[in-house]
Structure 1
Amino acid sequence: MSASHGTTAALNLDAAFGVADKIPNNGRILRNLIQGANYIASHIVHFYHLAALDYVDVTEVADYDGTDPELLKVKDFISRALAAGDMSMLAPFYPRYEGDYRLPKKVAQAAVAHYVEALNMRRLAHELSAIYSGRMPHSVAVEAGGVTSHPSIDSISSFMSKLNTLRHFIDNVYLPDVIAVAETYPDYFGIGVGCGNLLSYGVFDLEANGTNLATRQRLFTQGTVSASDLTLHTFDPNKITEDIKYGWFKGETNEYPLNEVTEPDHTKAEGYSWLKAPRYENTPYEVGPLARMVVNYVAGDPVVQKMVNDILAHFGAGPAALFSTLGRHAARALECKIVADEMVKWVMELKIGEPVCADYEIPESAEGMGLWEAPRGALGHWIKIENHKISNYQCVVPTTWNCSPKDGQGVYGPVEQAL
């Protein structure tokens, strides 16, 4: 499974098996490093391979007159397709929606080179994770009680080498590219506002004790913030529900996840989505990098505050600009740098030869909850065990939060409101 789901499932079982406060420090740190590598890969992919072509016209490379070997390869690739008049030859750049292309030719050409370089960085981030996760994607090392991998001098050295290469790319390519796009599209700070409510479960444990995931010390903290007042509010997981009135599921309930039953009903007359509608205090909330950065900003995190304030000052913008299309790209890029820099500290805290996992027994009956943050947002798993068997298992994932349909009150989800 993914690093995010794997860690969330492990946290869920930690609680159910009664070992949430017994995770060895090595296990905690290695979970963070595996997840951190996943964040780097995901954020690079999201900007370059999922969003950049909305801003970059790749055909500009046909006029490239420089000496960059990678760009010359792309130029030859594009020129052959243009000469043949067959754009289907240009996959993965085509087919495409025609974008709002404003970047100067030289900037667009450099961005295409960075698109290709980012493919290698994505591979490197997967290799970074696999040092301790066994493989990536679909990591196998994270389990209840900690992890199955042990640190060594060789693994730490390899990890640091790959991580520093990625940090160089983040600092010298990724962040400057996001700024270049933002400078060319300043009006994009005013579109895609969304619901204006942000939620973070917190991620990257900074302590190995404590069973309350809503208060455990984490690099990115738990909380909610609304654009209307930019005030941090305490997070209470008991206020999470999922409304299914407009989802293709049986019934019209609005239940706490562990009390839910998920039964599909594709014939439901008022249904229009295979997603449920997660709500916090019966209100839609956006989750993801923007939520984490704003929650930490309002919580007083000095690193986040300096980064965000510097970006806002660069563009002469106020905090409201964060709630936008470009605000989300900026939040993702800044978060990527924060995580990568913290990973340098974490890997040096590993203790060779010390335990990585706590012992546990499967209980006859128990309940558990795992709350974590995937790169794209708040991720929760809930489990109920009866007679040593799983009697109910429910997940509420980031896409469900962000792309949810209307709820029973007729209130649209965050993406629906942003559009």
Structure 2
Amino acid sequence: MSTFTIIDPITRIEGHMKVDVTVDAHRGVQQVVDVHVAGNLFRGFENFLVGREPTDAQHITQRICGVCPIPHGMAAVMTLDAASKTAIPLNGLIQRNLVLGANFVESHILHFYLLSALDYIDGPAQRPWLSSWSIDRRFNADQTAGLIGHYLKAIEMKRKGQEAAAVFGGKQPHSPAYIPGGFTNVPTQEQITMFAQYADELLDFINNVYIPDAEALASVYEDYTEIGGGYGNLLSFGCFDEDVAGKKKLFAPGYVLKGSRKKSTFAEAQITEQVKYGWYKNSTSKLKPSKGKTEATYPKDDAYSWMKSPRYMNAPMEVGPLARMWMSGDYNEGVSVMDRQLARAYEAQKITEAMKRWLAQIRVGDPVFNKTSIPAKGTAFGLTEAPRGALGHWLKLEGGKIAAYQVITPTCWNCSPRDDKKQLGPMEKAIMGTVVQDPERPVEVLRVVHSFDPCLDCAVHVMRAK
């Protein structure tokens, strides 16, 4: 007999999300045989921007999310850099990277310890850790106590990551320092020294605590290297330019299908958004984001999410640390729950080491921005990465104002509903077939969900009240 379970809300994520699963016996094993992942929140940031000054975009879009605001600031100014054909001085480029990198690192630490670890261990027998699903706990008491101790240390290190970002960014979250043509802060030797101290502390924690804990988790739950794989389709826009010409990036763009080790060349023109199962007008489906429209319709037959369904070459694509590390040749062991956990930890190490290298390239007294002249009319886009994956902003200008703006976020890729061809979203596909011990408390499903580190506030769009 099948069991239908609604997990609503999904906790320990950013935003509002539910997952509906049907569990039934298949070949004698209780497993997920149907799934729907839904974004429950509607918002209006893209429409907020219409009619505004182009330079408002980097400030308003950062308010989409307080967990990963910096990538939105980066994508917005990259879009205006492209529109104005402005080159970025090295000091501006480096500071953009440093603030973005600090945001990545603190977000990865936050994810492992505060958002994901409690799927595998029980917290102390006190609030807010009570009422956990104590199923399939494999760590012994000493190992659990050690992880709880690291949980508390991780809170401190997350704060240090935020403070590091604020050294050059002015404040975090929502840095005002990102501008078209560069960066507002003029770096000093004192700031360089201060950031270096934070980077040293973060790297020490990553090397001696975070990575060993992630590897221990992957060892104890080794079977999760075979769980939550999904399609094996991976996509990265690339990020962290390492030269002002934009020819070298810390993480390369590209994509693979079905877990291939051979990377293919990425082309922005292959991106479309589909909406058959989202609460948007079907007439807006299959549009390229540069032509995209956000026109809600609710209720709507068959629809179940406020997320659209981005597709690359009509294929559902997983984005995130695993995709970035795969494209850059740093990690390609497999696609699974534990591969996502490990890739994220190793990426935190790679970014922190890179930040130390970038820091040494700053030249005190050199320019931090170039003047820009934003055209009154035109189109442009900016593609970068957020901690959770590929992020794109698309802009249309008319009469010197924003005429249209579209954003596709990482969680829109990962947590998208079915598309016009009824293909499951990447997370839905990863959940399908997951073996469940207790259908009323499917912790195994949560482990798959949390391995993607979903951020729903970024992913959802808008309903216009009438």
**TM-score normalised over the length of structure 2:** 0.76
> Does structure 1 residue 270 correspond to structure 2 residue 306?
no
Decide whether the 8 Å contact of 1:17 with 1:366 is kept in 2. Answer: no
Decide whether the 8 Å contact of 1:195 with 1:413 is kept in 2. Answer: no
**For 1:269 and 1:227, how far apart are their aligned partners in 2?**
31
CA shift in 2, pair 1:271/1:171, >3 Å: same
* 1:389 equivalent in structure 2: 401
Q: CA deviation at 1:183?
A: 1.3
**For 1:227 and 1:219, how far apart are their aligned partners in 2?**
24
Per-residue CA distance 1:362-381 (angstroms, 9 max, x = gap): 31101111000001000000
CA shift in 2, pair 1:13/1:94, >3 Å: farther
The counterpart of 2:282, out of the listed 251, 266, 290, is 251
Q: CA deviation at 1:358?
A: 1.1
**For 1:40 and 1:106, how far apart are their aligned partners in 2?**
27
Identical counterparts, % of pairs: 42
* 1:176 equivalent in structure 2: 212
Partner SS, residue 241 of structure 1 = strand
**For 1:242 and 1:97, how far apart are their aligned partners in 2?**
36
**For 1:399 and 1:94, how far apart are their aligned partners in 2?**
28
Matches within 5 A, 1:5-404: 5-19=72-86, 22-59=87-124, 78=125, 81=126, 90-91=127-128, 93-209=129-245, 216-252=247-283, 253-297=285-329, 304=330, 308=331, 319=332, 322-404=334-416
Decide whether the 8 Å contact of 2:259 with 2:334 is kept in 1. Answer: no
* Structure 2: stretches of 5+ with no match in the other structure: 1-61, 63-68, 432-466
**For 1:228 and 1:186, how far apart are their aligned partners in 2?**
19
Per-residue CA distance 1:270-324 (angstroms, 9 max, x = gap): 2111000000001000000000011111xxxxxx2xxx4xxxxxxxxxx5x5200
**For 1:11 and 1:417, how far apart are their aligned partners in 2?**
33
Per-residue CA distance 1:340-393 (angstroms, 9 max, x = gap): 001101001001011111101231101111000001000000000011111110
**For 1:238 and 1:232, how far apart are their aligned partners in 2?**
18
Partner SS, residue 204 of structure 1 = strand
Per-residue CA distance 1:246-290 (angstroms, 9 max, x = gap): 110112420100101101112111211100000000100000000
**For 2:135 and 2:343, how far apart are their aligned partners in 1?**
23
Partner SS, residue 397 of structure 2 = strand
**For 2:268 and 2:360, how far apart are their aligned partners in 1?**
33
| Residue identity matched to 2:74 | T
* 2:455 equivalent in structure 1: none
Q: CA deviation at 1:178?
A: 0.6
Decide whether the 8 Å contact of 2:271 with 2:288 is kept in 1. Answer: yes
* 2:435 equivalent in structure 1: none
- Between stretches 45-54 and 356-365, larger displacement belongs to 356-365
**For 1:144 and 1:97, how far apart are their aligned partners in 2?**
48
Partner SS, residue 405 of structure 2 = strand
- Between stretches 137-146 and 376-385, larger displacement belongs to 137-146
Partner SS, residue 130 of structure 1 = helix
Partner SS, residue 322 of structure 1 = coil
| Residue identity matched to 2:228 | G
Q: CA deviation at 1:228?
A: 4.6
Q: CA deviation at 1:143?
A: 1.3
Higher helix share: 1
* Structure 1: stretches of 5+ with no match in the other structure: 60-77, 82-89, 211-215, 298-303, 309-318
| Residue identity matched to 1:274 | W
Decide whether the 8 Å contact of 1:3 with 1:139 is kept in 2. Answer: yes
**For 1:289 and 1:23, how far apart are their aligned partners in 2?**
26
**For 1:331 and 1:102, how far apart are their aligned partners in 2?**
22
**For 2:181 and 2:294, how far apart are their aligned partners in 1?**
28
Per-residue CA distance 1:227-257 (angstroms, 9 max, x = gap): 3532110000000000011110112420100
Per-residue CA distance 1:133-170 (angstroms, 9 max, x = gap): 11111111111111101110100010001110111000
